[in-house]
Amino acid sequence: MSHPEYMRRALELAEWGRGHVSPNPMVGCVIVHEDRIIGEGWHREYGGPHAEVHAVNSVENQALLSDSTVYVTLEPCAHWGKTPPCANLLVEKKVKKVVIAATDSNPLVGGKGIDILKNAGIEVESGVLEKEARWQNRRFFTQIEKQRPYTILKWAQTQDGFVARENFDSKWISNSQSRQLVHKWRAEEDAILVGKNTAAYDNPRLDVRDWVGKNPIRVVLDSRLFLPKGLNLFDHSIPTLVFNTLKSETEENLELIQVPEITPETVLKELHSRKIQSLIVEGGSQVLTQFIQSGLWDEERIFKAQTRFGRGISAPELNQNPSETLSIGTDRLDIYYHG
């Protein structure tokens, strides 16, 4: 097998960490001795051992490590965080060579891991499937390089272009398969955001009851704190942040965050300060349009159903062609990428 083939296996392993490791990146590691994989590992949960540790520990004959090549999807860390530096571990094990997909743009690492390896006499090669590795960890790299969460805009619209009826009723435009897919997406991201109208008229839970995984942090935009306390969003079952212009206050699993003005910029800046790596914006139309106009979005996922309303609240406008189109039962899912 070639370098790219071993690295693809490492990328497959890294994927197992999706939804469990934020704000850390997903990382996979494969250890090869004489063209045979002798160890594998991935970063399984935030605060736990990194991919390299799991891979090294999985090798039955540790003596083989000194004549082995380590494939890792992201540059081994060089700093003490919740765990020791992985670059030091590979030096300690005296591995022969390390092949890296992408270098880490985190200032705490930023080439320092590679320097540790090279200074110890370990051969290092980087850039193998770099594009694929950066794409897999686009949430992590957006957080580091753009200083904001990776932002996904999501909505469902009727065939005639409405996201709700005139009375703001929007249940249910998409089919059951699409709704279950949305719950899967929620389990993969850190936070989910809605505006005041969506909270008031839909009374959503914003949880993952139709999937297995963690619930995202709920984010609500309610400038004047008009929303009633009896809504599902305020049941204290899931950490919930309420952006407003009146006051800051903290209760169990509920925090009011006062900002001078509620804009995509102020919201994303605050979420970034809380190490929230990714965000799904689920509405309503006015909030989604604000994010589109600000340019502060990375991905759009739009369900287009067979339903027709005739009249109602129009869907946001996006003047570009979809990057991907999928069929989800009777619904069409268009996916757009920004930039």
pLDDT per residue as tens digits for the range 100-147 = 999 999 877 788 999 999 999 999 999 999 999 999 999 999 999 999
Identify the CATH class of 147-337: alpha beta
Rounded CA separation 96/33 (Å) = 10
Q: Return mean pLDDT, the chain.
A: 95
Residue of 5, 15, 34, 52 with catalytic role: 52
> What residues does each domain of the chain span?
3-139, 147-337
Binding residues for Zn(2+): 50, 77, 86
- What is this structure's pTM? 0.94
Among residues 44, 45, 14, which one has the least CA distance to residue 29?
A: 14
pLDDT per residue as tens digits for the range 56-81 = 999 999 999 999 999 999 999 987 77
pLDDT per residue as tens digits for the range 81-98 = 777 899 999 999 999 999
Decide: 219 and 193 in contact? Cβ < 8 Å: yes
Tell me if residue 52 is catalytic. yes
Percentage, residues of the chain above pLDDT 90: 91
- CATH of 3-139, picked from 3.40.140.10, 3.20.20.70, 3.40.50.150, 3.40.50.280, is 3.40.140.10
**Residue 180 pLDDT greater than 80, yes or no:** yes
Helix (H, G, I), strand (E, B) or coil at 304: strand
With b meaning 16 or more CB within 10 Å and e meaning fewer, what string describes 215-252? bbbbbbbbeeeebeeeeebbeeebebbbbbeeeeeeee
Rounded CA separation 240/216 (Å) = 9
Q: DSSP character for 23?
A: T
Binding residues for NADP(+): 156, 172, 198, 202, 223
